[in-house]
């Protein structure tokens, strides 16, 4: 059977589904089916119906994760801009104690690296979730 695209009309107007199919599953299978359905933004019934009818179900991005990525990206941009500003303004740099300035730059770099690591982990979590939902 060829895979069809996800049926956009999963819920048809005026059509009442009156038949239920019972499929016995083990508790771990139930949990996995629920997890997979949630990963593509569907309840269990439409998820199983789409799969049973040969529709391909694709995962949807977790909007909270996308929002996190956007915030992290913004933080990195601000930190990078601040660091660049510090390093290109000789007049402002001369006002600071060199030891304290070095410490401040190292702290900024450390924060940038921490944010990059968090961003990388968030992206990996999205990729892993996508991989396991297929």
Question: Domains of the chain: which residue ranges?
Answer: 1-60, 63-132
Residues 53/45, Cβ–Cβ less than 8 Å: no
Residue 24, pLDDT score: 95
Residue 44, pLDDT score: 93
- Could you say which DSSP state residue 41 is in? T
Res 112 pLDDT > 50? yes
Over its C-alpha atoms, the chain yields an Rg (Å, rounded) of 25
Residues 49/69, Cβ–Cβ less than 8 Å: no
pLDDT in tens, 23-51: 999 999 999 999 989 888 889 999 999 99
pTM: 0.46
Confidence bin at 12 (pLDDT 50/70/90): low
Residue 9, pLDDT score: 46
């Amino acid at each position: 059977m060829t895979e069809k695209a996800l049926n956009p009309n999963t819920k048809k107007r005026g059509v009442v589904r009156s038949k239920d199919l019972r499929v016995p599953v083990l508790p771990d299978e139930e949990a996995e089916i629920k997890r997979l359905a949630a990963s593509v933004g569907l309840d269990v019934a439409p998820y199983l119906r789409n799969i049973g009818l040969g529709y391909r179900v694709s995962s949807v991005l977790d909007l909270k994760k996308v929002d996190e990525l956007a915030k992290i990206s913004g933080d990195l941009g601000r930190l990078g801009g601040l660091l660049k500003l510090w390093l290109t303004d000789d007049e402002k740099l001369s006002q600071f104690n060199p030891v304290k300035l070095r410490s401040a730059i190292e702290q900024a770099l450390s924060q940038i690296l921490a944010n990059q690591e968090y961003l990388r982990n968030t992206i990996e979590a999205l990729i892993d979730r996508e991989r396991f939902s297929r």
